[in-house]
Amino acid sequence: MTMKDFRLYRFFLTLFCCLCCTVPVSADTGNQKSILLLSPNMLNSPYLYDFYSAFKAKLNAERAEPVIIYEENLDLSRFPLSSDQTNLDTWLKTKYKDIKIDAVVVVGQTVLNYLLTHQQLMWLDTPILFTLASDSEIRKMSLPVNVTGRTLKAGFFDVVQMAKALLPNTQHIAIIGNTAEHDVYRNDLPDEIARLSVDIDIIDLRGKSLPELELAVKQLPKNTAIYFTALTVDDKLRKVVNEFALEKIVRQSNAPILADNPNYIGFGPMAAISFDAGIQGRDTADLLNQILIGKKISSLPISKSTFIPLLDWRELNRWGVSKNNYPADSEVRFYVPTAWELYRWQIGLIFSVITVLLTLVGALLLERKRRNAAVAESRHRLAQIAFMNRKITATVYSEAIAHELIHPLAAILSNTEAAQLFLNQCPPQIAMVQEILVNIRRDDLRAGDLIKSMRGLLTKSESTESLVNVNEVVQKVLNFLAGEAKIRQVQLIESLAPVTLIVIADAIQLQQVMVNLILNALDAIDEADGARRCISIFTAVHEINNVLVSVADTGVGFDENIERVFDSFFTTKEKGMGLGLAITEAIVQAHGGRIWAENCPDGGVVHFSLPLSINGFR
Ligand code: ADP
């Protein structure tokens, strides 16, 4: 490296150092303001950190140039100074001797106490602004003219009031924490205890070891609340981690815990006295701004802040505190909203949908009930009409029945006479008589069947469904009408399916369908008066799961009337009523079937189909 290079290097190095290093500012800072912030232990306390953030933000909010803040963490609670100790004074004095300080901001009571005891050494004429100091302490002090600030007004009295407000039955207050000589923050606590013990039973557990405390808090009397101050020194004067002690007490305690430190909330205490760090920071910055613009300290009186109760919702619930007992202006933390609060709209929507669905289901059920009632009613009416129809048709075929009965009755009579003759012979011919008796029995059963069928047709009016064999019904009707067919000289030809065709139906109504169709066929044949006089009846399986029944005749056929024959009161007969096919169609449709008529070269044919009952078919 040449000499020239070396000089260049030295120039840049010096420039770099000027830019990067924080050089103590000399007395000449122009309009720029500098303050010294003396704090107890900024880094260890989230509360003080929040305070400082809000303070700094507000202080510089409307400034072109930020205030220079020198900060000293004195940590006096952990390192208390003896009155004759001057090391710190000397150190501070030396450190800041060349620095212009426009105001000293003192955070907390202990730091203020220190500064007021030692301040004659420096900053005699500098404005001193204290904050977060104890109201009761400040009231006891006579402050120099260059000092003003903000106090916090809260103490043991407020803790007791808060306990009584939350749990009105509170009768005992157990105090846990450092003894008075090790509690620099609560100087007035002993006086407060003495004053309040008149109204409430105070169980003073200060100065006990942690194991002793763990045992004691398990056995506290009913209606006790614990006031946890701070436990940093145990009975053997060993240091204790406050949070660790609190955690142990919380775990064992049979009583709710209250505190005057908002940082404890969330770690077990039910309630704490709280001064919002943000508000304190901003209010302190406001006061400082007034000092920095040159307002006289005498025109800035000491102001005090009142606390807000800070509550842990989970602990309130645990100790059964009613919501009505929450003090006014309290701040509730760790609140767990109910499902209703979280999903109000969703739950509302679900309930609305369920309500709509239930209403629809209700309406549908009602509709179904009405429809069932209507179906039952129409079936009842159909049954009544069908019954009337049977009575009408009964007169038509009663003659045929009478004719049919004459044969078995005449046969029974002649057989009886023959039996008498065989019995009078000597010896009586018992074998012949037995044969005759068999014939008499057969003729009697046939006559009985005919009468039974007739009675079934004429007495039953209500519809009852059962498994019915279609082929059997057809045969029964053919038997029944055989006499009438014979009178009219019509041949009945049956062509029945070779399988059992089972349908679910009212057997009497099915018989009536067949009777109506066959009587109509007989009438059509009479009207045609042709040479071929026959009716063919077919049964078959139709479209896999239906039964088809067809009645074909050699009559006049339906011709152009085919569209109207199922209409009520449509008739082409002189004495007709036009109801037979309408009722027949109604019966078939009520059984889930359909009916239709066709013209064919020989005459007419009527088909009807019914759903086949699969079980029966098998
Ligand atoms: P009614 O027998 O009292 O006239 P129906 O309802 O039984 O009443 O029949 C209505 C009409 O349908 C009959 O008047 C007839 O004109 C016609 N009809 C019914 N069955 C047949 C058939 N097998 N062949 C031709 N016409 C028929």
Instruction: Give the residue, out of 571, 577, 579, 596, with the most ligand 1 atoms within 8 A of its beta carbon, to mutate for a pocket test.
Output: 571
Specify if 312 maps to a domain. yes
pLDDT score of 232 more than 90: no
Which position has the token pair 């303070």?
Answer: 55
Q: Quick check: is 455 in a domain? A: yes
Domain annotation covers residue 44: yes
User: For residue 462, what pLDDT band results from cuts at 50, 70 and 90?
Assistant: low
Kindly state whether residues 138 and 70 are assigned to the same domain. yes
Does residue 29 or residue 215 have the better pLDDT?
215
Parent domain of 569: 463-618
Name the more confident of 287 and 392. 287
Domain shared by 117 and 220, yes or no: no
What number does the ligand 1 atom closest to the CA of 606 have? 23
pLDDT in tens, 65-99: 899 999 998 877 667 666 555 677 788 888 888 88
Domain-located, residue 299: no
pLDDT at 233: 86
Q: Say what percent of the chain tops pLDDT 70.
A: 88
The verdict on residue 53 lying in a domain is: yes
Q: How confident is the model at residue 344 (pLDDT cuts 50, 70, 90)?
A: very high
Residue 314 has pLDDT above 50, yes or no: yes
Same-domain check for residues 101 and 236 = no
Q: Is residue 347 part of a domain?
A: no
Place of tokens 């923050």: 185
Chain centroid offset of residue 529 CA: 80
Residue 144 DSSP code: -
568 alpha carbon – ligand 1 mean position (Å): 11
For residue 78, the domain's CATH number is 3.40.50.2300
Residue nearest to atom 7 of ligand 1 (CA): 580
Residue having the nearest C-alpha atom to atom 13 of ligand 1: 571
Helix (H, G, I), strand (E, B) or coil at 603: strand
Residue 445 within any structural domain of the chain: yes
Q: Token digits for 284?
A: 């302190």
Distance 381 CA to ligand 1 centre (A): 22
Is the pLDDT confidence value at 293 over 70?
A: yes
Do the domain assignments include residue 369?
no
Cα 521 to ligand 1 centroid, rounded to whole Å: 8
Q: In what side-by-side order are the strands of the sheet with 224-228? A: 201-204, 172-176, 224-228, 257-259, 271-274, 308-312, 331-333
Given a cut of 60, is residue 475 above it in pLDDT? yes
**In terms of domains, do 422 and 313 share one?**
no
Question: Of the candidates 104, 108, 99, which has an alpha carbon nearest to the alpha carbon of residue 127?
Answer: 104
Provide the residue type at 289 as one letter: N
| Stated pTM of the model | 0.49
State in Å: Cα 394 to ligand 1 middle.
17
- Residue 569: which pLDDT band, with cuts at 50, 70 and 90? confident
User: Do 323 and 176 fall into the same domain?
Assistant: yes
Would you report the helix, strand and coil content of the chain in percent, each value rounded to 5? 50, 20, 30
Is residue 170 located within the same domain as residue 217? yes
The answer to whether residues 554 and 539 touch, using CB atoms and an 8 Å cutoff, is no
Q: Which residue's alpha carbon is at the smallest distance from atom 3 of ligand 1?
A: 576
Cβ atoms of 38 and 115 within 8 Å: the answer is yes
Residues 467 and 608 in one domain: yes
Q: Which whole number is the average pLDDT over 548-570?
A: 93
Q: Is 220 exposed, middle or buried (0-12, 13-18, 19+ CB in 10 A)?
A: middle
Last residue of a domain, one of 103, 134, 153: 153
CA 47 – CA 292 distance, rounded (Å): 25
pLDDT in tens, 166-215: 999 999 999 999 998 888 778 789 999 999 999 999 999 998 989 999 99
DSSP string, 308-377: EEEEEHHHHHHTT--GGGSPTT-EEES----HHHHSHHHHHHHHHHHHHHHHHHHHHHHHHHHHHHHHHH
Bridge partners, residue 233, by sequence = 239
Query: Residue 513, exposed/middle/buried by CB under 10 A (0-12, 13-18, 19+)?
Result: buried
At residue 204, the 3 state secondary structure works out as: strand
- Range from 104-118, 119-133, 514-528 carrying the lowest mean pLDDT: 119-133
